[in-house]
Structure formats: structure tokens, C-alpha cells
């Protein structure tokens, strides 16, 4: 029974920083180039080449420090982590070890209905390695060094996570924060955000067990699958009288299983030592303070603002703050029009997001259409057109087929809100309905719906339903 | 007999010789190759445009500071389009596509490279016997044993021998624990190791990054100032390059000091040394005392730890710096059944014994469980050594020491690595402190072999250090 078992998980998240050049060289830091296109003499480990630190990476680390409640260390040191591999041309990875740039942070995540504080031990800067490609040729491996030297921020949590869902919440909160402060593009498919999961199991209330580390997971789905599989695997071993070996595991995405890559006996001795080619990073308080304004509003700040100032429903507010570009679009619309934020929000998370999803668009691509969108929303909220008509026109507006007011005229969707005209139609509709009128007066509310429907039909759907409702009630109560 | 840079420039300006004729003269000597001081020489055709450009500048009356001067370059500097081997088998086919910062400055100032000087493999050695291309022979002979071939010192042994034999006007060397000063001393020439951080390390095959420093080996102190003027510049591509204001090292070099100068002689350096070595210090003391310079005894507290500290830190850095030579992207690859075999075979066959030894020592002192006892401890001792020097340089302007504990020895004489390491006993402490040091010839041994003394100055005070060395040189000069 796995009921008495609990899992204890710590996460090492590698976030690729969105700098224009690499951590220690001037070659471009971009995904999707031709193999070995973004490689210079430093990246390829040529003799006599020296690293020069890209200060942009330090600034991004400091921003992260603010966003994840870290202590930002004025003194940090780049060290060499020595090991041999063909996609590591220097023969060592430059990383921070004894003195990381950030220590002792935390974020709050949702766990069920509660908030849970996840403590983060440290975050440090390091170089990414290149890529080895083994499946092009049966005899040879191919090496792409484009990724060599890409700046990574490795964020190491304490073992405070105790379920796959918590891990997913933690990871997505991290992703959201890093994207908000514009230090990582959050693209997990392209490997911009990857996680190593350290997992051990124990009977509730007992000492920590031996952990295994599952390397390099780059999707929420895989993280969840890997955790669930590994949890069960460890329980099965212990239940079967075995002991957990401290192993480094790989997750096989095709079978959904984890398997041992190397055990502790074969683990590397990385022989870390301070990189003599680089000076220690010594920051002044002014340098650190200067970065603070660049952090901007964080998701929690926005959530509070949306709830308190704009009276949004919490669920809707959360959808909007989930990604910074959503919030930016929303706030742009608010700033450009007098339509109520709550009304804008409802349309945004409803029909507008549906349109974006259906057409596979980027939220950002609507940034130049906000004026048209809010013009349309104004027509709806002023009852110039019906909700239904609004839904009909919205895709045309988003496709740039015309201005909302023109489209309304073109399609003849303007609502009949002239009470004289509506009264005439209603009176005609009530002729011969004495029986139903009596039913209504006898207390049957259902009849009202029947009458509204009949009147709307008579206006070919263009009658303002609210007004029809109002006039009907006056007539029927007589 | 050997002409200085200023004398050669004068002859070129006065058209007593052309740039091409000058080049040919030195090339002929370099090509004769009696002492194996070059790994590669550059034929006139391959330098013809540099030679013509240089001649044109002389003809137009606007020569550059080192225009037309034929230089040797230690085969540790990457030279664009010219094979650069670090005297190692593993790089024996390597042609860089870039020019080191220092050699680029020398080219910018009009000098012409005559070839790449032999050296110890990856600059690891004190006798130039570890080179894949064979040992360099010291042009000097023991007058009591003329047939013996002697070492030129190392690791810049090819550079020192080439300057001494007259196959280049000057040579660029590198010094990690004495690799410029020690061979200069054993070959009877001048060798300057500038302050760490003076000359960019960009494009120099790295041995121990926190110690490596480029510097000139020259016939006279003034020539060292000429070269230093060219190479001593801040470089953004070397994070350890200092951005202090550089001076013109030729100005005042022949003037006497305005203020009273005090020189410290560390008595602990002179225990158990031969009369030959003691004589060098006495000669120098006598010569400079004539100029009103005062000498005082000073005592270091850390001398006995310097060599072991060095032989922990330098191999530690080397073990990591040499990891890139894996046969994968460039250099010599030996095939193997697996990736591990390729690494193992390429590195086992590509590196010589001394390099392998130091990689092993370095990996050992950085290993888990040994790091604190060796590497971390050595870093702490290095700090104490620096402080020790600082304490003494607060009391005196310069420090005078022998450069080497002995004269040039026979090739093959010192097979035991430890006795070889002891050759650097006087130069290593300066390197650990990062201070500038210059070796100048001070006299001949009983066997008629050259010996040198070392002056050590304070950080970035190369100007007064050269001035002092020039003054001593005038008094001590000897001719073979």
C-alpha cells in the first residue's frame, strides 16, 4: 500500500537566460540556428581563449533574486567543474559552487486550497553545454556547439515538495515569475527551462530516505509521469526488502519509465576550483539597488490589483495574470477605454482567448487591435448591439476585416432600442395570448421567457432583450 | 657584437642595411638550426609583404617603433596561419586562425616574426628537455668540458638560445615560475617577467592562468623596454588584464635615480649556495654601491613554502587548462574503440611525461578529500607569500636575488623531477606574488658560463625596475 508512503522532492531548475550573447563570449544566444553557427573561438575551446563575463547575466540574476525573495550576494565566484565530454569543449563547465550569486530564497505555491512556502537554497550562474546527436549516423556522433556557453541560472530548492502536483505548481510559478521579469522565455520544448527532480520516499513521519535524481525533464507532463513512476519504483524496492541506491536516473519518454544512468560509485569527482581566468564578482549595494526598478510588477501584485481595484473574479484574474502578455494586453485595453475592466476581462478570457487558441496566435499579436476591441466592447456594453451580435462581429474585428461600428452597419446588427417601436411589436405579440397572460399573472414565470423569445423573433433578433423584458413586464402586470 | 634594437633601427634609417637584408641575416642563423632553438622558421617569401611594408615606412621616414626588427616567438603564442604547437605532439598539427594579443601588438609596431621558438612542452620544464621537438642546446660551452651540450634553461629555452646565438634580435617568452628569467640567466641575456596583469594572456596557450605572464628575452635592458612598450596594454578580452595607465619605459631608462634607492638582499636565499652564485650578488652589490645605492639584509618568512605551493597551484590549474586537448576538435587524435579510448589514447600519446605528471598532480590536489589539504591550503600560503613580499617592499625599493641556484647543466643531467623543480627556487616566489622580476647577466662562473641576478620591484613599477637593471647592466656587462 502506497498510502503510508510519502515522497520528498527537491528540484533543480535550469533556466536559460534571455541575453543577446553568451555568458562568457560574444556569440549570439539564440535557438534554432544552423548547427555550429553560433560558435566562436571561446565556445569551441581553442587554445589561449579566455572567458569575459557578460554583465547582462548578472543583472538578470539580480532581478531573479528580487522576484524569488533571495539574498543577493555581493561576492560570488565562478569555478570550474571539470569533466570530459565532446559537447564540453573546454573540458570544464564554468559554474558557481562555493559562493553562488543568490542564496536562501522562497516562493509561495498553491497546495490544495492552501498556500505553501517552498524554500529555495540557492541559485547560481553557469554555462550550458553543447548537444551530442547520436541518431544521425550509426557509426558517428555529431556535435552541435551552438548551446555551449549559453547562460543558465540553476535554481535549487530545498526538499519541500511532497507531490507531483506541488512540483508542477512550483515549476509553473517559477516559469511565470521568470517570464514576468523577462529573464527567461519559459519555452520548455526548446529546453529554455528544464528540471532535475530529486526524489526519495519515506513512511510518514520517518527519516529521509535515499534519493535518486531524475535528470533533464523538459515538460510538465514528463515531470508528472517521472515522479509517479519513480515514487512507485522506490516503494516497490523497499517493500520487496531492497534498499534504494543513490542513482542518477534518466526518464524514457517513450516508455514513461525511469532507469539508472550511473550510480554513486561511478559519480564524477568534478574537482571544482575558482576559475583563474575570471575575477570574483564583487557587487556594490548601488549596483544591486539599481536593478530593483527593472523587476516590475509581479503576478501576485497584479492579482491583488485586479481583485481590489478592478473587482475581477479570482478565477478570471488568475487566467489573465498567468502570462505576462495576457496581463499586458488586458491593461492596455483598460488604459485605452472607459469600458469597465470587469466587462473587458470577461470577454478577454472568453471569446478573445478562444479566438487566439483556435487560430494558434500569440497573445501579443493582438496588441495593435486593442482599440478596435474596446470599441466593440463599448457598443455591447452600451446596448447598441446585443451580446450575440458582439460574438458574431468579434472574429471579424480580430481578423482586421473592419471597424466595429462599420461592421455593425454592414451586417445590420444594430439593436432596436427604440421603446416606441418595441412597444408596438410587443403589443402585436400579445394579441391572442390571453391564456398565457393569465398563467403569468397566476405566478408562472416560465411564460415570461416564452414571450421574450416571441418578441425577439419578431425583431429578427435585433431587439434589445433588456428593454423587451422591461416593457413586457409592464404590459403583463396590467 | 650583438646589435641592440636602437642600433639596428639607426642602421635601417641610415640605409646601411635594408629590412630584407636584415631579415636574411637572422634567418640564415635561425635556419642553420645548430641549437634546435626554433620549431619553425618563416621563409622570406612568407614574410615578403611585411618586409616590403616595413622598408616602405623607412623609405618614407615614418618607421614604427619596432619596424623591421626580426623577432622570435615562443611556440606558446598563437600566431594566425602559423603552426603553434606548445612543443607538444598533441598540438603538432595545430594552425590557429587568430593572433594572440601580445604578438598582434608586436606586428602592429612593425616587427617581423622569424619563427616559433622551441620551448618545454606546454611550458612545463626548466631545461627545455620536455619538448616534443627535442632539447634546445645552450650556445654557451663549459670551458672545462667543451664537448658537453648544456641546457639553455626553460621553459623559454628556445627563445633564450635564439637571442644568445643571434638568430633573432629578441624573443617573446612566457614566465609562469621562472620560464623567462631562468633561461635568460643560463644563456647570458636579459629576461623580464612583467607584473601579472600587465600583458594580456589572450591567445597564449595556457599553463597556469593565475601565474602565466608574457615578457621579452633580449640582449640588453633597453631592448626589453622597447618590447614592453609594445606589449604592455590593457585588453578587454583578458579579465585579469589590468587597466592602469601604462608608462613609456624608454624614457629615463638611462638616467640615474633622483631619489635614494634601497635594495634588500634576502639572506635566507643565500644559505647553502655556491661561491659562483654568491659572487654574482657581491658583484652587483659593488657595482651599484658606486651609484650611492644602499643595500640591506631582509628576511622572508615564507621562502621554504614557495616551491611546494607553486607545485600544487600550477599543476592544479594546468590539469584543467589542458583538458581541452582531447583530440576531438583539433590537434592529434588517436583512434579508439570508444569515446573513453579516444580520450585515453589521444592524451596518453599526445602528452609527454612531465605534462602527464603535472596533470596527475593537479587532478590529485583538486580531488574530493584532498582539496582542503592541498589546493585550499596552498592558496592560503600564496596569500602569505604575497604579504611577505609586501612587507619587505614597504622597507626597500627593490629586492636582489640570484636568478638560479646554478649554472647551465648538461642535457640529461637532472633526471629527477624534484631537483629540476629546485632550479626555480629564486623565481617562483616572485611569480606567486605576481610581482615583476628581471634577470640580467651578472658574470661568469668558474666554468666560464653566464650567470644572472634578479631584481624584483613592486607591482606595475616596471619603469624604475628597468631603470635599475639598465644601471646595473652598464657596470656588469661582460662579453663572451
Taking the domains of chain B in order of start, what are their residue ranges?
A: 5-257+405-476, 262-302+380-399, 303-377
Please give the helix or strand (H or E) that residue A397 lies within, else none: helix A387-398
Min CA distance, A275 vs chain B (Å)?
A: 9
Percentage of chain B lying above the pLDDT 90 cut:
94
B155 touches chain A (CB under 8 A): no
Q: What is the pLDDT of residue A424?
A: 84
Superfamily designation of domain B5-257+405-476: Amidase signature (AS) domain (3.90.1300.10)
CA distance A145 to A132: 9
Taking CA–CA distances from B374, the nearest residue in chain A reads A273
Distance CA B11, CA B31 (A): 24
Spell out the domain ranges in chain A.
Answer: 2-287, 297-411, 419-477
Question: Is residue B314 a contact partner of residue B177, using CB atoms and an 8 Å limit?
Answer: yes
Nearest CA in chain A to B367: A271
d(CA B202, CA A130): 23
State the average pLDDT for chain A: 92
Quick one: average pLDDT of B425-432? 97
The C-alpha cell 531548475 sits at A13
Number of other CB atoms surrounding residue A250 within 10 Å:
17
ipTM greater than cut 0.90:
yes
Residue among B91, B239, B343 minimizing CB distance to A52: B239
Shortest Cα–Cα distance, A84 to chain B (Å) = 7
Buried b (16+ CB within 10 A) or exposed e, A452-473: bebbbebbeebbbbebbeebbe
The whole-number pLDDT of residue B334 equals 96
B239·A51 Cβ contact <8 A: yes
The position carrying cell 478562444 is: A354
Place of cell 454592414: A410
Give the mutation candidate from B321, B351, B379 for the A interface (greatest A CB count, under 10 A). Answer: B321
Q: How far A88 CA sits from the closest chain B CA (Å)?
A: 9
Q: Are B390 and B259 in contact (CB under 8 A)?
A: no
B155 tagged catalytic:
yes
Burial class (CB in 10 A: 0-12, 13-18, 19+), A116: middle
Active-site annotation holder among B155, B171, B346, B442: B155
Average confidence score pLDDT of chain B:
96
pLDDT at B392 over 80: yes
The pLDDT tens digits along chain A (478 residues) read 457 899 999 999 999 999 999 999 999 999 999 999 999 999 999 999 999 999 999 999 999 999 999 999 999 999 999 999 999 999 999 999 999 999 999 999 988 889 999 999 999 999 999 999 988 998 889 999 999 999 999 999 999 999 999 999 999 999 999 999 999 999 999 999 999 999 999 998 888 999 999 999 999 999 999 999 999 999 999 999 999 999 899 999 899 999 888 766 666 799 999 999 999 999 999 999 999 999 999 999 999 999 999 999 999 999 999 989 999 999 999 999 899 999 999 999 999 999 999 999 999 899 999 999 999 999 898 878 888 888 989 999 999 898 998 888 888 777 777 777 888 888 888 888 888 888 888 877 788 888 888 888 877 777 787 888 888 888 877 6
In whole angstroms, give the CA distance from residue A413 to residue A436: 31
**DSSP structural state of residue B274:** -
Q: Give the closest of A44, A47, A91 to B320, CB-based.
A: A91
Which of A44, A47, A91 is opposite residue B326, by nearest beta carbon?
Answer: A91
Q: Which three cell numbers stand for residue A88?
A: 564540453
How many angstroms away from the CA of A367 is the closest CA of chain B? 41
3-state DSSP assignment of residue A202: strand
CB contacts, 8 Å: A53 with chain B: 239
A39, A42, A47, A142: best to mutate for the B interface, most B CBs within 10 A? A47
Strand order in the sheet with B190-193: B38-41, B112-117, B70-74, B170-175, B213-218, B190-193, B437-444, B450-456, B398-402, B262-266, B294-298
- Mean pLDDT, residues B214-231 taken together: 98
DSSP per-residue codes, B447-477: TS-EEEEEEE--TT-HHHHHHHHHHHHHHH-
* Cell numbers at A2, concatenated: 502506497
A47/B100 touch (CB, cutoff 8 Å), yes or no = no
Q: Are B280 and B402 in contact (CB under 8 A)?
A: yes
How many whole angstroms separate alpha carbon B147 and alpha carbon B139?
12
Q: Residue B480's pLDDT is what?
A: 43
Q: What's the alpha-carbon Rg for chain A, to the nearest Å?
A: 30
Nearest CB neighbour to B366, from listed A47, A273, A276:
A273
Please answer yes or no on whether B367 and A44 come within 8 Å at the CB atom.
Answer: no
C-beta atoms of B78 and A47 within 8 A: yes
- Cβ–Cβ below 8 Å for B239 and A84: no
A100 min Cα distance to partner chain B (Å): 18
Tracing cell 502570462 back to the chain, one arrives at A323
Q: Torsions phi, psi of A220, nearest 5? A: -60, -40
pLDDT tens digits, B78-109:
999 999 999 999 999 999 999 999 999 999 99
CB B185 within 8 A of CB B452: yes
pLDDT tens readout for residues B10-67: 999 999 999 999 999 999 999 998 999 999 999 999 999 999 999 999 999 999 999 9
Distance separating alpha carbons of residues A142 and A150, to the nearest angstrom? 19
> What pLDDT, on a 0 to 100 scale, did the predictor assign at position A2?
55
Q: Domain A419-477 belongs to what topology?
A: Arc Repressor Mutant, subunit A (1.10.10)
Measured between beta carbons, which residues in chain A are less than 8 angstroms from residue B319?
82, 271
- pLDDT at residue B416 greater than cutoff 90: no
List residues of A whose CB lies inside 8 A of any B CB: 41, 44-53, 80, 82, 84, 86, 89-92, 143, 269, 271-273, 276-279
B107/chain A closest Cα distance in angstroms: 18
Active-site residue, selected from the candidate residues B74, B89, B414, B463:
B74
Nearest to A276 among B96, B210, B368 (CB): B210
Q: Hey, are the CB atoms on B316 and A89 less than 8 Å from each other? A: no
Amino acid at each position: 500500500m502506497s498510502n503510508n508512503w510519502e515522497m520528498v522532492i527537491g528540484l533543480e531548475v535550469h533556466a536559460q537566460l534571455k541575453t543577446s550573447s553568451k555568458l562568457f563570449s560574444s556569440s549570439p544566444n539564440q535557438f534554432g540556428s544552423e548547427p555550429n553557427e553560433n560558435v566562436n573561438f571561446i565556445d569551441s575551446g581553442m587554445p589561449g581563449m579566455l572567458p569575459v563575463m557578460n554583465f547582462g547575466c548578472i543583472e538578470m540574476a539580480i532581478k531573479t533574486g528580487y522576484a524569488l525573495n533571495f539574498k543577493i550576494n555581493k561576492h560570488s565566484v565562478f569555478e570550474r567543474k571539470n569533466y570530459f565530454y565532446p559537447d564540453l569543449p573546454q573540458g570544464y563547465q564554468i559554474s558557481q559552487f562555493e559562493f553562488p550569486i543568490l542564496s536562501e530564497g522562497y516562493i509561495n505555491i498553491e497546495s490544495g486550497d492552501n498556500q505553501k512556502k517552498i524554500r529555495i537554497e540557492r541559485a547560481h550562474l553557469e554555462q550550458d553545454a553543447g548537444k551530442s546527436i547520436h541518431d544521425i549516423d550509426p557509426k558517428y556522433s555529431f556535435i552541435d556547439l551552438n548551446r555551449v556557453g549559453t547562460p543558465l541560472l540553476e535554481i535549487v530548492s530545498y526538499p519541500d515538495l511532497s507531490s507531483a502536483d506541488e512540483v508542477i505548481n512550483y515549476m509553473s510559478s517559477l516559469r511565470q515569475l521568470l517570464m514576468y521579469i523577462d529573464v527567461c522565455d519559459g519555452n520548455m520544448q526548446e529546453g529554455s527551462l528544464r528540471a532535475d527532480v530529486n526524489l526519495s520516499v519515506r513512511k510518514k513521519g520517518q527519516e529521509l530516505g535515499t534519493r535518486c535524481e531524475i535528470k533533464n525533464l523538459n515538460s510538465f507532463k514528463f515531470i508528472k509521469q517521472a515522479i509517479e513512476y519513480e515514487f512507485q519504483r522506490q516503494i516497490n524496492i523497499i517493500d520487496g526488502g531492497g534498499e534504494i541506491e543513490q542513482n542518477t536516473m534518466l526518464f524514457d519518454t517513450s516508455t514513461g519509465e525511469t532507469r539508472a544512468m550511473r550510480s554513486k560509485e561511478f559519480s564524477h569527482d568534478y574537482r571544482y576550483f575558482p576559475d583563474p581566468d575570471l575575477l570574483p564578482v564583487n557587487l556594490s549595494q548601488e549596483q544591486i539597488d539599481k536593478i530593483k526598478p527593472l523587476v516590475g510588477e509581479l503576478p501576485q501584485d497584479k492579482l491583488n490589483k485586479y481583485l481590489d481595484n478592478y473587482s475581477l473574479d479570482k478565477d478570471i484574474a488568475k487566467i489573465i495574470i498567468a502570462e505576462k502578455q495576457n496581463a499586458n494586453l488586458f491593461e492596455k485595453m483598460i488604459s485605452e477605454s472607459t469600458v469597465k475592466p470587469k466587462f473587458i476581462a470577461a470577454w478577454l478570457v472568453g471569446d478573445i482567448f478562444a479566438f487566439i487558441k483556435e487560430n494558434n496566435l500569440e497573445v501579443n499579436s493582438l496588441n495593435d487591435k486593442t482599440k478596435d476591441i474596446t470599441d466593440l466592447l463599448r457598443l455591447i456594453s452600451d446596448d447598441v448591439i446585443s451580446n450575440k451580435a458582439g460574438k458574431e462581429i468579434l472574429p471579424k474585428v480580430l481578423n482586421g476585416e473592419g471597424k466595429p461600428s462599420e461592421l455593425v452597419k454592414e451586417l445590420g446588427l444594430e439593436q432596436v432600442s427604440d421603446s416606441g417601436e418595441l412597444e408596438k411589436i410587443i403589443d402585436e405579440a400579445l394579441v391572442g395570448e390571453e391564456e398565457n397572460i393569465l398563467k403569468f399573472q397566476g405566478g408562472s414565470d416560465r411564460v415570461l421567457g416564452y414571450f421574450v423569445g416571441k418578441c425577439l423573433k419578431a425583431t429578427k433578433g435585433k431587439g434589445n432583450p433588456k428593454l423587451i423584458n422591461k416593457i413586457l413586464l409592464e404590459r403583463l402586470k396590467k | 657584437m650583438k646589435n641592440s634594437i636602437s642600433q639596428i633601427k639607426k642602421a635601417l634609417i641610415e640605409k646601411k642595411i635594408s629590412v630584407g637584408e636584415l631579415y636574411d641575416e637572422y634567418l640564415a642563423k635561425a635556419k642553420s638550426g645548430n641549437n634546435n632553438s626554433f620549431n619553425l622558421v618563416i621563409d622570406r617569401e612568407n614574410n615578403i609583404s611585411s618586409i616590403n611594408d616595413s622598408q616602405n615606412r623607412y623609405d618614407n621616414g615614418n618607421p614604427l617603433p619596432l619596424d623591421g626588427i626580426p623577432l622570435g616567438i615562443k611556440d606558446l603564442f598563437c600566431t594566425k596561419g602559423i603552426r603553434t604547437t606548445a612543443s607538444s605532439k598533441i598540438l603538432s598539427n595545430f594552425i590557429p586562425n587568430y593572433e594572440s594579443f601580445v604578438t598582434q601588438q608586436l606586428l602592429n609596431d612593425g616587427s617581423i616574426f622569424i619563427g616559433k621558438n622551441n620551448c618545454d612542452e606546454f611550458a612545463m620544464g626548466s631545461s627545455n628537455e620536455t619538448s616534443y621537438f627535442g632539447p634546445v642546446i645552450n650556445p654557451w660551452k663549459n670551458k672545462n668540458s667543451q664537448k658537453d651540450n648544456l641546457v639553455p634553461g626553460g621553459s623559454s629555452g628556445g627563445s633564450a638560445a635564439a637571442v644568445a646565438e643571434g638568430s633573432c634580435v629578441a624573443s617573446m617568452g612566457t614566465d609562469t615560475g621562472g620560464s623567462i628569467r631562468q633561461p635568460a640567466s643560463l644563456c647570458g641575456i636579459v629576461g623580464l617577467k612583467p607584473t601579472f596583469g600587465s600583458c594580456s594572456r589572450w591567445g597564449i596557450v595556457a599553463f597556469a592562468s593565475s601565474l602565466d605572464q608574457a615578457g621579452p628575452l633580449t640582449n640588453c635592458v633597453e631592448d626589453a623596454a622597447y618590447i614592453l612598450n609594445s606589449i604592455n596594454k590593457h585588453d578587454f578580452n583578458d579579465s585579469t588584464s589590468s587597466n592602469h595607465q601604462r608608462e613609456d619605459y624608454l624614457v629615463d631608462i638611462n638616467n640615474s635615480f633622483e631619489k635614494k634607492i634601497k635594495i634588500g638582499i634576502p639572506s635566507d636565499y643565500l644559505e647553502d649556495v655556491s661561491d659562483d652564485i654568491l659572487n654574482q650578488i657581491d658583484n652587483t652589490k659593488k657595482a651599484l654601491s658606486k651609484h650611492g645605492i644602499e643595500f640591506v639584509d631582509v628576511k622572508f618568512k615564507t621562502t621554504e613554502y614557495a616551491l611546494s605551493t607553486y607545485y600544487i597551484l600550477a599543476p592544479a590549474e594546468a590539469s584543467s587548462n589542458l583538458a581541452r586537448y582531447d583530440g576531438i576538435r583539433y590537434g592529434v587524435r588517436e583512434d579508439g574503440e570508444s569515446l573513453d579510448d579516444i580520450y585515453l589514447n589521444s592524451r596518453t600519446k599526445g602528452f609527454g611525461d612531465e605534462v602527464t605528471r603535472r596533470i596527475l598532480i593537479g587532478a590529485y590536489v583538486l580531488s574530493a578529500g584532498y582539496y582542503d589539504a592541498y589546493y585550499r591550503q596552498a592558496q592560503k600560503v600564496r596569500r602569505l607569500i604575497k604579504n611577505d613580499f609586501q612587507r619587505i617592499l614597504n622597507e626597500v625599493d627593490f629586492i636582489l636575488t640570484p636568478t638560479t641556484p646554478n649554472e647551465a647543466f648538461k642535457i640529461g643531467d637532472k633526471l629527477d623531477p624534484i631537483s629540476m623543480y629546485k632550479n626555480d627556487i629564486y623565481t617562483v616566489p616572485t611569480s606567486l606574488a605576481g610581482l615583476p622580476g628581471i634577470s640580467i647577466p651578472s658574470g661568469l662562473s668558474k666554468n666560464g658560463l653566464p650567470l644572472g641576478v634578479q631584481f624584483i620591484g613592486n607591482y606595475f613599477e616596471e619603469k624604475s625596475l628597468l631603470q635599475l637593471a639598465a644601471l646595473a647592466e652598464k657596470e656588469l656587462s661582460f662579453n663572451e
